[in-house]
Structure formats: structure tokens, C-alpha cells
């Protein structure tokens, strides 16, 4: 019985950890470049410095859209505001505009289908000295999910992130699982950090801490940007952590952000 419980937990944590890192899908974008917002339809990592520094843009607007019924917890939104204010140089301010919209697609979603949803509902694009990012809370799972590997979130354009809220709910708030706010926030901020160019994804390395096997992730096990595909080693990490806390960035990742214009 104990073994079974352990196995169940082990599977759950392996799934969680693997999935928070399915974030490097920067495959080509077929969107018409002549349309408004073309600066927001570039490959992942292209706007890292623009997001971090106060050079071209001094203000950030976050368009934060949930499909009705799949909104994250209010504390998750507050955690995003706190993180962005801590790390981004935006003296003009950081504003999160939150709203919900009716379902517009059929789950499970491919990244192309998520792009289509974004194109249907996104209103906010770079404008003057304001840079815009788009965060979507989807009403279904990723089409890439398997029995063993589920995706919680993906960063898929230079200013776009999707979170698969039903999957996050499935793997949070039960005994031995992370709290809902902790899992929502950790996944969301991990994906936002890919927009900020971590790791070696538009923000240059200031030290040798990119995982040589799992590229664009950090080798430091306690870091928000850590990614390990092996199940062994993941469970002890999670079992030792407070499951109600948002995982923070380690000093090496913070140093990269600071060297690329962040705080």
C-alpha cells in the first residue's frame, strides 16, 4: 500500500516536473506579418532584453486572459505582479489587465491551435514605449500529453504563454501534491522566464549553468528553471520542499537577467 502510494506520488511529481518545462516550442509562425502586432509574433526569446531593460520600453502591459471557468487563483495574479516588479526595469509601470472570454477552441490543443486562440482574442500589442505580453489560461490540455508526461504550460512566442489550467488543477491541491496557487504560479513564472530569455534563450549566460541535456534550462536543482527528465531525483526534491511555496530563481539565473537589463 505504501509502495503504491509512493509510486502514485512519484508518477504525479514526475509528470508535474516534466510538464512545467515543455516550453521551448518556437516553431515557425505562419501568421501574416503585415498584420498589427507583428512585433509580438516573433520566436521565443527574441524580446528578452526588451522585456527586462528600460531601453526601448519603459512600461509593461500583461494581457491576462482566461477561458471562462478556468481562471487561476487571485493570489497567482498577485504573484505575477510581484515577480515582474522584482525583476523588470519598467519605471513606467507594470499593469496586468485580467479578463475572461468564452471558449473558442476544442481541446486538447496543439500549439498551433493555441496560436489561433491568441490571434482571436488578443487585443494588446507593443505600442510606443509599452511592451505587451499575453498569458492564456486554457480550458483544456495539451495535445502532446501522454500517460506519463503532461504539459502544464508552454511559452510559444516572444511575448506569449499558455497555461493548461485543467491539468494544473488535476495535479494540485490533493494530499502530497503542490497547492493550487503554488503550482499555477511556479508554472506561469517558469514560462514567463522563458520570455525573459532563460536559460540561454535570448539572455546570454553569465556563468556555465545551462543544463547540457535539457537545453534552455538550469542545472541548479533548486532553481525555478531546473528541468530533469529522470524520475529519480525529482521526487526527493519535491518531497523536501514546502509544496505551498512558489519555486524561486537561483542566483545564477538572476545574474543572467540582471546582465541583460533586468533587476
Q: Which is nearer to Zn ion, 162 or 252 (CB)?
A: 252
Cell of 42: 516573433
Which of 132, 253, 261, 262: binder of Zn ion (CB under 5 A)? 253
Q: Which residues contact 187 (CB under 8 A, 6 or more apart)?
A: 20, 152, 153, 163, 168
> Where does this chain touch Zn ion (CB under 5 A) — which range of 32-40, 168-176, 177-185, 220-228?
220-228
Q: In terms of CB distance, is 182 or 253 closer to Zn ion?
A: 253
Are 90 and 52 in contact by the 8 Å Cβ rule? The answer is: no
Residue 218 backbone dihedrals phi, psi, to 5 degrees: -100, 145
In the block, which residue shows the cell 516550453? 23
Give the one residue of 218, 234, 246, 257 binding Zn ion; rule: CB under 5 A. Answer: 218
For Zn ion, the binding residues in 116-145 under the rule CB under 5 A are none
Please tell me whether residue 210 binds Zn ion under the rule CB under 5 A: no
DSSP 51: H
Residue from 223, 234, 246, 257 that binds Zn ion (CB under 5 A)?
223
Q: Minimum distance from CB of 20 to Zn ion (Å)?
A: 6
Contact characters 19-58, Zn ion, x per CB under 5 A? --x-x-----------------------------------
| Residue 84 contacts Zn ion per CB under 5 A | no
Using CB under 5 A as the binding rule, whether residue 225 contacts Zn ion is answered as yes
User: Distance between CA 192 and CA 156 in Å, rounded?
Assistant: 10
Can residue 220 be called a binding residue for Zn ion (CB under 5 A)?
Answer: yes
Q: Which of 118, 184, 250, 256 binds Zn ion (CB under 5 A)?
A: 250
Residues 17 and 229: their CA atoms lie apart, in Å, by 8
The owner of cell 546570454 is 204
One DSSP character per residue, 146-166 reads -SS----EEEEETTEEEEEHH
Phi first, then psi: what are they for 77, rounded to 5°?
A: -65, -45
- Footprint on this chain of Zn ion (rule: CB under 5 A): 21, 23, 218, 220, 223, 225, 250, 252-253
Amino acid at each position: 500500500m505504501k509502495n503504491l502510494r509512493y509510486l502514485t506520488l512519484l508518477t504525479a511529481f514526475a509528470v508535474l516536473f516534466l510538464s512545467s518545462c515543455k516550453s521551448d516550442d518556437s516553431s515557425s509562425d505562419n501568421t501574416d506579418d503585415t498584420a498589427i502586432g507583428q512585433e509580438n509574433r516573433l520566436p521565443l526569446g527574441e524580446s528578452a532584453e526588451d522585456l527586462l531593460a528600460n531601453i526601448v520600453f519603459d512600461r509593461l502591459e500583461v494581457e491576462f486572459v482566461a477561458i471562462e471557468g478556468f481562471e487561476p487563483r487571485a493570489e497567482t495574479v498577485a504573484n505575477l505582479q510581484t515577480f515582474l516588479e522584482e525583476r523588470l526595469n519598467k519605471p513606467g509601470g507594470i499593469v496586468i489587465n485580467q479578463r475572461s472570454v468564452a471558449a473558442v477552441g476544442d481541446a486538447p490543443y496543439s500549439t498551433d491551435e493555441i496560436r489561433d486562440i491568441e490571434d482571436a482574442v488578443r487585443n494588446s500589442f507593443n505600442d510606443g514605449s509599452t511592451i505587451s505580453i499575453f498569458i492564456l489560461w486554457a480550458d483544456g490540455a495539451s495535445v502532446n500529453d501522454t500517460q506519463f508526461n503532461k504539459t502544464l504550460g508552454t511559452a510559444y512566442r516572444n511575448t506569449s504563454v499558455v497555461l493548461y489550467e485543467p491539468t494544473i488543477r488535476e495535479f494540485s491541491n490533493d494530499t502530497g501534491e503542490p497547492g493550487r496557487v503554488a503550482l499555477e504560479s511556479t508554472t506561469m513564472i517558469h514560462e514567463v522566464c522563458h520570455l525573459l530569455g532563460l536559460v540561454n534563450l535570448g539572455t546570454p549566460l553569465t556563468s556555465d549553468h545551462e543544463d547540457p541535456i535539457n537545453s534552455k534550462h538550469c542545472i541548479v536543482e533548486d532553481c525555478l528553471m531546473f528541468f530533469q527528465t529522470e524520475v529519480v531525483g525529482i521526487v526527493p526534491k519535491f518531497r523536501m520542499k514546502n509544496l505551498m511555496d512558489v519555486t524561486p530563481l537561483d542566483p545564477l539565473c538572476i545574474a543572467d537577467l540582471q546582465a541583460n537589463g533586468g533587476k
